[in-house]
Structure 1
Amino acid sequence: MSLRVAVFEDNKLVRDSFEAILNGTDGFSCTGSFSGCNNLNHDIQRSQPDVILMDIEMSGMNGIEATKIIRQQHPGIKILIQTVFEDDDKIFAAICAGASGYMLKKTSPGKLIEALQEVYNGGAPMSPGVATRVFTLFQKFAPPQEVSEQESVHLSKREKEILLLMTEGDNYHTIAKKCFLSYDTVRTHVRSIYRKLHVVSVNQAIVKAFKQRLI
């Protein structure tokens, strides 16, 4: 079954390019291509996506506002932001709104396809420069959190290694190669990290890990 992707992008050339890439890649289909988010719920109901590829700057409702609404009303849909912006304010706002990943538009088609698959599988792909900024932002805004012995979290050496690579924006495939593990083994470790930290996303895991000085 194909991974269903809806595209929200105001530039027609870029939008058509994304649609062609998706429909030309095995295992993917573009189920909707929209120039804006002003009819957001109607467009989502019509396209029934698994993942949304979302631009930030569009006329009317912008991509960050749309992301907040989607996370509230359609929590099962993953959102991958793709934009030309790599400033801290936009990145932080997108993550706080509930975006699962943040890629720059200069990302190659192959990397974009990998990122969409990664988001669908529960990952949080980011362009390398963006990942560095996110790492810095979390260090800046996540103060240490005192925890009792009963609340303390004990991650294995391998789990800490994987979590650290996730903060650098590495996807599951890249982590698997760096750690000489299979893709499924990496997913198993990530599920264990989520369970131990009582979180449901990479972003939540990173914030909690920084607060508790786990990495």
Structure 2
Amino acid sequence: MPVSIVLFEDNDRLRESLAYLLNSDPDYAVKGNFDNCTQAAEIIERLKPDVVLMDIDMPGKTGISGVAMVKQARPETAVIMYTVFEDDEKLFQCLCAGANGYLLKKTPPARLFDAIREVLDGGAPMSPVIARKVLMSFQQKTDNQYNLTSRETDVLQLLIKGNSIKIIADELNMAFDTVRSHLKKIYLKLHVNCGKEAIAKALKEKIL
């Protein structure tokens, strides 16, 4: 079955273009597209999408509120923010609300397909400029406080870039279960439960 997608974007032309682009590939199907996220919970409960693309600046409720509504209605639905905002505060708020990825609207359209595949594979897709911000945060924090080993740092850096466990294992020439073991130790040291929470923690602490 194709990956089911729902779009929340108030720019009509962009929303229609995204729907057309995604529907052009038989592996993807846009089940609904909306110019606001006020009824996001009801929409998600009804359509049950695999992935949501969510703008931030929309009339009524913001996309930050929209993420929280989506996750409360259906936690297994992955949410990728698709926005013009690059500032740390909005990025932090989106991740804390439950966003699984963060792409800027200047991202090449074809990158959307890669991002959707990554998020379904357990990754956290981000535009390069966003990934750099997060990576810099972790490099400074891990060097100074959390006592991660060099191998744990390697794993964490690849995770921050949006890679799935399988890709990290391939990149570092490690077994899948070894990567999972490293991640468990990383989360324990950072006092978090998952990669998303780890990223949010780094941003919250403003280590830039």
Do both share a fold (TM > 0.5)?
yes
- Structure 1: distance between partners of 2:201 and 2:13: 40
What residue is the counterpart of 1:69 in the other structure? 69
Identity %: 39
What residue is the counterpart of 2:12 in the other structure? 12
- Comparing 171-180 with 98-107, which one deviates more in the overlay? 171-180
- In the TM superposition, residue 134 of structure 1 has moved relative to its aligned partner by 2.2
Q: CA RMSD in A?
A: 3.2
- Structure 2: distance between partners of 1:176 and 1:125: 17
- Structure 2: distance between partners of 1:80 and 1:39: 18
Q: How does 1:1-215 map to 2 (within 5 A)?
A: 1-137=1-137, 144=145, 157=151, 160-167=153-160, 169-172=161-164, 179=172, 188=177, 190-196=179-185, 197=187, 201-205=194-198
Where do 5+ consecutive residues of structure 1 fail to align? 146-151, 210-215
What residue is the counterpart of 1:212 in the other structure? none
Q: 3-state SS of the aligned residue for 1:85?
A: coil
- Structure 1: distance between partners of 2:181 and 2:173: 18
Q: 3-state SS of the aligned residue for 2:181?
A: helix
- Structure 1: distance between partners of 2:69 and 2:11: 22
Q: Deviations over 1:81-119 (max 9, x none)?
A: 010110111111111111111000111122111111111
Q: Deviations over 1:106-138 (max 9, x none)?
A: 111221111111111211011110112223455
- In the TM superposition, residue 171 of structure 1 has moved relative to its aligned partner by 3.0
Q: 3-state SS of the aligned residue for 1:49?
A: coil
- Structure 1: distance between partners of 2:51 and 2:195: 16
1:201 corresponds to which letter in structure 2?
C
Q: 3-state SS of the aligned residue for 1:69?
A: helix
Where do 5+ consecutive residues of structure 2 fail to align? 203-208
- In the TM superposition, residue 155 of structure 1 has moved relative to its aligned partner by 6.6
- Comparing 4-13 with 88-97, which one deviates more in the overlay? 88-97
Query: TM-score under structure 1 normalisation?
Result: 0.76
8 Å contact kept, 2:22–2:28: yes
Taking a change above 3 Å as real, the CA distance of residues 21 and 200 of structure 1, as seen in their structure-2 partners, is farther
Q: 3-state SS of the aligned residue for 1:102?
A: strand
Q: 3-state SS of the aligned residue for 1:15?
A: helix
8 Å contact kept, 1:50–1:78: yes
Taking a change above 3 Å as real, the CA distance of residues 21 and 52 of structure 1, as seen in their structure-2 partners, is same
What number of residue pairs does the alignment pair up? 197
Q: 3-state SS of the aligned residue for 2:64?
A: helix
Query: TM-score under structure 2 normalisation?
Result: 0.79
- In the TM superposition, residue 72 of structure 1 has moved relative to its aligned partner by 2.6
